[in-house]
Protein backbone atom coordinates (compact mmCIF):
# COMPACT_ATOMS: atom_id res chain seq x y z
CA UNK A 1 0.00 0.00 0.00
CA UNK A 2 1.16 3.55 -0.77
CA UNK A 3 2.64 5.68 2.02
CA UNK A 4 0.52 8.61 0.86
CA UNK A 5 -2.31 8.69 -1.63
CA UNK A 6 -4.25 11.75 -2.78
CA UNK A 7 -7.71 11.05 -4.18
CA UNK A 8 -9.57 13.85 -6.01
CA UNK A 9 -7.84 16.23 -3.64
CA UNK A 10 -8.52 19.96 -3.73
CA UNK A 11 -6.40 22.29 -1.58
CA UNK A 12 -6.78 25.95 -0.69
CA UNK A 13 -7.77 28.48 1.94
CA UNK A 14 -11.20 29.28 3.41
CA UNK A 15 -12.89 27.11 0.80
CA UNK A 16 -11.05 28.99 -1.95
CA UNK A 17 -9.49 26.29 -4.09
CA UNK A 18 -5.93 26.86 -5.36
CA UNK A 19 -5.31 23.39 -6.83
CA UNK A 20 -7.79 20.62 -7.54
CA UNK A 21 -8.28 17.23 -9.17
CA UNK A 22 -5.04 15.98 -7.67
CA UNK A 23 -4.62 12.21 -7.85
CA UNK A 24 -1.25 10.75 -7.04
CA UNK A 25 0.50 8.31 -4.76
CA UNK A 26 3.86 8.08 -3.07
CA UNK A 27 5.34 4.68 -2.29
CA UNK A 28 8.12 3.80 0.10
CA UNK A 29 11.52 4.79 -1.36
CA UNK A 30 10.02 7.04 -4.08
CA UNK A 31 11.46 10.42 -5.06
CA UNK A 32 8.58 12.62 -6.17
CA UNK A 33 9.21 16.05 -7.57
CA UNK A 34 6.37 18.58 -7.56
CA UNK A 35 6.70 21.22 -10.25
CA UNK A 36 4.46 24.07 -11.38
CA UNK A 37 4.29 27.80 -11.85
CA UNK A 38 4.47 30.35 -9.01
CA UNK A 39 1.20 30.42 -7.10
CA UNK A 40 -0.05 27.11 -8.51
CA UNK A 41 -0.49 25.73 -4.98
CA UNK A 42 2.61 23.59 -4.44
CA UNK A 43 3.36 24.86 -0.91
CA UNK A 44 -0.34 24.70 -0.05
CA UNK A 45 -0.39 21.06 -1.17
CA UNK A 46 2.62 20.23 1.03
CA UNK A 47 1.04 21.90 4.07
CA UNK A 48 -2.12 19.91 3.40
CA UNK A 49 -0.18 16.63 3.14
CA UNK A 50 1.44 17.51 6.49
CA UNK A 51 -2.03 18.14 7.98
CA UNK A 52 -1.09 21.74 8.76
CA UNK A 53 -4.30 22.64 6.98
CA UNK A 54 -7.45 20.81 5.91
CA UNK A 55 -8.15 19.70 2.35
CA UNK A 56 -10.97 21.67 0.70
CA UNK A 57 -12.29 18.34 -0.63
CA UNK A 58 -11.08 14.86 -1.46
CA UNK A 59 -8.91 12.58 0.60
CA UNK A 60 -5.35 11.96 1.71
CA UNK A 61 -4.92 8.31 2.58
CA UNK A 62 -1.91 7.41 4.71
CA UNK A 63 -0.76 3.79 4.48
CA UNK A 64 2.05 1.34 5.03
CA UNK A 65 2.05 2.20 8.74
CA UNK A 66 3.33 5.75 8.12
CA UNK A 67 3.11 7.87 11.22
CA UNK A 68 2.80 11.59 10.48
CA UNK A 69 5.51 12.21 13.09
CA UNK A 70 7.92 10.33 10.80
CA UNK A 71 7.71 13.06 8.16
CA UNK A 72 10.44 15.70 8.14
CA UNK A 73 9.62 19.07 6.59
CA UNK A 74 11.88 21.73 5.15
CA UNK A 75 9.59 24.73 4.56
CA UNK A 76 10.05 27.30 1.81
CA UNK A 77 12.48 29.91 3.21
CA UNK A 78 11.25 33.40 3.94
CA UNK A 79 13.33 36.52 4.61
CA UNK A 80 12.21 36.38 8.25
CA UNK A 81 13.48 32.80 8.64
CA UNK A 82 16.83 33.75 7.13
CA UNK A 83 17.23 36.26 9.96
CA UNK A 84 16.28 33.86 12.76
CA UNK A 85 18.24 34.74 15.94
CA UNK A 86 18.80 31.19 17.31
CA UNK A 87 21.91 29.00 17.31
CA UNK A 88 22.36 26.22 14.77
CA UNK A 89 22.18 23.63 17.57
CA UNK A 90 18.87 25.02 18.84
CA UNK A 91 17.35 25.05 15.37
CA UNK A 92 18.35 21.46 14.61
CA UNK A 93 17.16 20.29 18.04
CA UNK A 94 13.76 21.88 17.46
CA UNK A 95 13.26 19.29 14.70
CA UNK A 96 12.92 16.66 17.45
CA UNK A 97 9.86 18.31 18.98
CA UNK A 98 7.27 16.17 17.21
CA UNK A 99 8.61 13.00 18.86
CA UNK A 100 8.78 14.50 22.38
CA UNK A 101 5.10 14.49 23.27
CA UNK A 102 4.47 16.80 26.21
CA UNK A 103 7.99 16.68 27.67
CA UNK A 104 9.24 20.29 27.92
CA UNK A 105 13.01 19.57 27.70
CA UNK A 106 15.20 17.83 25.18
CA UNK A 107 16.54 14.49 26.46
CA UNK A 108 19.66 12.49 25.65
CA UNK A 109 17.95 10.78 22.70
CA UNK A 110 16.94 14.06 21.04
CA UNK A 111 20.40 15.57 21.54
CA UNK A 112 22.03 12.51 20.01
CA UNK A 113 19.67 12.56 17.01
CA UNK A 114 20.39 16.27 16.48
CA UNK A 115 24.17 15.73 16.65
CA UNK A 116 24.03 12.77 14.27
CA UNK A 117 22.12 14.81 11.72
CA UNK A 118 24.38 17.85 12.12
CA UNK A 119 27.33 15.55 11.48
CA UNK A 120 25.63 14.02 8.45
CA UNK A 121 24.90 17.43 6.94
CA UNK A 122 28.37 18.79 7.71
CA UNK A 123 27.18 21.63 9.97
CA UNK A 124 28.96 20.62 13.20
CA UNK A 125 31.61 23.35 12.75
CA UNK A 126 28.82 25.96 13.04
CA UNK A 127 26.90 24.26 15.89
CA UNK A 128 27.19 27.22 18.27
CA UNK A 129 26.96 29.94 15.63
CA UNK A 130 23.91 32.07 15.14
CA UNK A 131 21.81 30.82 12.20
CA UNK A 132 21.51 34.27 10.62
CA UNK A 133 25.30 34.55 10.34
CA UNK A 134 25.49 31.56 7.98
CA UNK A 135 25.51 31.61 4.18
CA UNK A 136 22.38 30.54 2.29
CA UNK A 137 23.85 27.11 1.52
CA UNK A 138 24.89 26.54 5.14
CA UNK A 139 21.43 27.63 6.31
CA UNK A 140 19.75 25.10 4.01
CA UNK A 141 22.00 22.33 5.35
CA UNK A 142 20.97 23.29 8.88
CA UNK A 143 17.29 23.16 7.91
CA UNK A 144 17.86 19.79 6.25
CA UNK A 145 19.51 18.49 9.44
CA UNK A 146 16.49 19.82 11.37
CA UNK A 147 14.03 18.13 9.01
CA UNK A 148 15.98 14.86 9.28
CA UNK A 149 15.41 14.78 13.05
CA UNK A 150 11.76 14.06 12.32
CA UNK A 151 12.21 12.18 9.08
CA UNK A 152 12.18 8.54 10.03
CA UNK A 153 10.73 7.63 6.65
CA UNK A 154 9.77 10.67 4.62
CA UNK A 155 11.15 14.14 3.85
CA UNK A 156 9.08 16.93 2.35
CA UNK A 157 11.24 19.71 0.90
CA UNK A 158 9.81 22.99 -0.34
CA UNK A 159 12.29 24.53 -2.80
CA UNK A 160 15.42 23.49 -0.90
CA UNK A 161 17.79 25.11 -3.40
CA UNK A 162 16.15 28.49 -3.89
CA UNK A 163 18.68 31.30 -3.73
CA UNK A 164 21.70 28.96 -3.80
CA UNK A 165 24.49 29.24 -6.34
CA UNK A 166 24.88 26.45 -8.98
CA UNK A 167 27.68 24.66 -7.09
CA UNK A 168 25.84 24.58 -3.75
CA UNK A 169 22.60 23.71 -5.59
CA UNK A 170 24.26 20.66 -7.05
CA UNK A 171 25.68 19.66 -3.64
CA UNK A 172 22.25 20.01 -2.09
CA UNK A 173 20.61 17.90 -4.81
CA UNK A 174 23.28 15.23 -4.38
CA UNK A 175 22.76 15.24 -0.60
CA UNK A 176 19.00 14.78 -1.02
CA UNK A 177 19.59 12.03 -3.57
CA UNK A 178 21.91 10.19 -1.16
CA UNK A 179 19.23 10.37 1.56
CA UNK A 180 16.78 8.83 -0.92
CA UNK A 181 19.26 6.06 -1.70
CA UNK A 182 19.47 5.38 2.05
CA UNK A 183 15.74 4.65 1.91
CA UNK A 184 14.09 7.97 2.82
CA UNK A 185 11.08 8.76 0.67
CA UNK A 186 11.39 12.25 -0.81
CA UNK A 187 8.75 14.72 -1.91
CA UNK A 188 10.47 17.84 -3.24
CA UNK A 189 9.06 21.01 -4.72
CA UNK A 190 11.28 22.51 -7.38
CA UNK A 191 11.04 25.11 -10.09
CA UNK A 192 13.77 23.35 -11.95
CA UNK A 193 12.25 20.77 -14.28
CA UNK A 194 15.67 19.81 -15.53
CA UNK A 195 16.81 18.82 -12.03
CA UNK A 196 13.44 17.18 -11.35
CA UNK A 197 13.78 14.80 -14.26
CA UNK A 198 17.42 14.15 -13.40
CA UNK A 199 16.82 13.09 -9.79
CA UNK A 200 13.16 12.16 -9.27
CA UNK A 201 11.48 8.95 -10.31
CA UNK A 202 7.99 10.47 -10.30
CA UNK A 203 6.76 13.93 -11.31
CA UNK A 204 3.63 15.78 -10.25
CA UNK A 205 2.95 18.91 -12.25
CA UNK A 206 0.26 21.20 -10.89
CA UNK A 207 -1.21 24.37 -12.37
CA UNK A 208 -3.18 24.73 -15.60
CA UNK A 209 -2.07 21.25 -16.56
CA UNK A 210 -2.11 18.44 -14.03
CA UNK A 211 0.24 15.56 -14.63
CA UNK A 212 1.28 12.66 -12.44
CA UNK A 213 3.44 9.77 -13.57
CA UNK A 214 6.93 8.40 -13.77
CA UNK A 215 9.80 10.52 -15.04
CA UNK A 216 9.76 8.56 -18.32
CA UNK A 217 6.01 9.14 -18.76
CA UNK A 218 6.51 12.83 -18.00
CA UNK A 219 9.24 13.20 -20.60
CA UNK A 220 6.99 11.60 -23.22
CA UNK A 221 3.90 13.60 -22.23
CA UNK A 222 2.77 16.83 -23.88
CA UNK A 223 3.02 18.63 -20.53
CA UNK A 224 6.55 17.37 -19.97
CA UNK A 225 7.75 18.24 -23.47
CA UNK A 226 6.21 21.69 -23.21
CA UNK A 227 7.79 22.55 -19.86
CA UNK A 228 11.18 21.07 -20.72
CA UNK A 229 11.15 23.21 -23.87
CA UNK A 230 10.09 26.34 -21.95
CA UNK A 231 12.90 25.96 -19.43
CA UNK A 232 15.56 25.25 -22.00
CA UNK A 233 14.34 28.27 -23.99
CA UNK A 234 14.63 30.43 -20.87
CA UNK A 235 18.17 29.19 -20.40
CA UNK A 236 18.92 29.41 -24.09
CA UNK A 237 20.48 25.95 -24.29
CA UNK A 238 19.53 22.39 -25.13
CA UNK A 239 17.99 20.37 -22.27
CA UNK A 240 20.37 17.40 -22.57
CA UNK A 241 23.42 19.67 -22.21
CA UNK A 242 22.48 21.43 -19.02
CA UNK A 243 23.10 18.90 -16.27
CA UNK A 244 25.29 18.75 -14.24
CA UNK A 245 26.68 22.24 -13.74
CA UNK A 246 23.59 23.75 -15.31
CA UNK A 247 22.12 27.19 -14.64
CA UNK A 248 18.74 27.03 -12.95
CA UNK A 249 15.77 28.78 -14.52
CA UNK A 250 15.40 31.17 -11.59
CA UNK A 251 19.01 32.31 -11.87
CA UNK A 252 18.60 32.91 -15.59
CA UNK A 253 15.42 34.83 -14.87
CA UNK A 254 17.17 37.09 -12.36
CA UNK A 255 19.58 38.19 -15.07
CA UNK A 256 16.72 38.85 -17.47
CA UNK A 257 14.83 40.87 -14.83
CA UNK A 258 17.99 42.88 -14.22
CA UNK A 259 18.36 43.56 -17.94
CA UNK A 260 14.79 44.85 -18.10
CA UNK A 261 15.46 47.30 -15.30
CA UNK A 262 18.42 48.86 -17.07
Ligand X SMILES: Nc1ncnc2c1ncn2[C@@H]1O[C@H](COP(=O)(O)OP(=O)(O)OP(=O)(O)O)[C@@H](O)[C@H]1O
In angstroms, give the least distance from the CB of 4 to ligand X.
18
Which residues of this chain interact with ligand X, rule CB under 6 A? 13, 18, 36, 38-44, 76
Binding partner of residue 13 among Mg ion, ligand X, none, CB under 5 to 8 Å per kind?
ligand X
The entry of Mg ion, ligand X, none that residue 210 binds, CB within 5 to 8 Å by partner kind: none
Q: Residue 80 CB, nearest distance to ligand X (Å)? A: 15
Catalytic site includes residue 254: no
Angle at Cα 88 formed by Cα 86 and Cα 92, nearest 5°? 105
The residue range among 21-29, 38-46, 134-142, 179-187 that interacts with Mg ion, by the rule CB under 5 A, is 38-46
Using CB atoms, what's the residue nearest to Mg ion? 43
- Which positions from 52 through 111 interact with Mg ion, judged by CB under 5 A? 76
List beta partners, residue 205.
35, 211
Please give the DSSP secondary-structure letter assigned to residue 133.
G
SS (H, E, C) 147-179: HHHHCCCEEEEECCCCCCCHHHHHHHHHHHHHH
Of 47 and 141, the one with the shorter C-beta distance to ligand X is: 47
Contacts 24+ apart (CB under 8 A), 125-129: 126/88, 127/87, 127/88, 127/89, 128/87, 128/88, 128/89, 129/87, 129/88
From ligand X, Mg ion, none, interface partner of 160 (C-beta below 5 to 8 A by class): none
Query: Any residues with CB less than 8 A from the CB of 207 and at least 6 apart, and which?
Result: 19, 36, 37, 40, 41
Which of 21, 68, 133, 159 does the annotation list as catalytic? 159
Least separation in angstroms between CB 36 and ligand X: 6
**How many CA atoms does the CB half-sphere of 112 hold within 13 Å?**
3
How many whole angstroms from its chain centre is CA 240? Answer: 24
* Number of shown-chain residues binding Mg ion (CB under 5 A): 2
The alpha-helical segments, DSSP class H, found in 28-135 are 42-49, 79-82, 88-93, 108-120
Q: Does the footprint of Mg ion cover residue 43 (CB under 5 A)?
A: yes
Which residue lies nearer to ligand X by CB, 39 or 125? 39
Among residues 144 and 242, whose Cβ is nearest to Mg ion? 144
Specify the residue, 81 or 87, whose C-beta has the smaller distance to ligand X: 81
Q: Which residues lie near Mg ion (CB under 5 A)?
A: 43, 76
The residues that are catalytic are 159
Amino acid sequence: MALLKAVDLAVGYDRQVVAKELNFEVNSGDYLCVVGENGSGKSTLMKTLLRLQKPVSGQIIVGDGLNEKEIGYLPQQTIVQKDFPASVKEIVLSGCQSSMGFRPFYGKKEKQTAFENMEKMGVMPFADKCYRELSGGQQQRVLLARALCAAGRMLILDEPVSGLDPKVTLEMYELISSLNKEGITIIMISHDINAAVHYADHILHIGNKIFFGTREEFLKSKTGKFFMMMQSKERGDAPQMVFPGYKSASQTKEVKDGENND
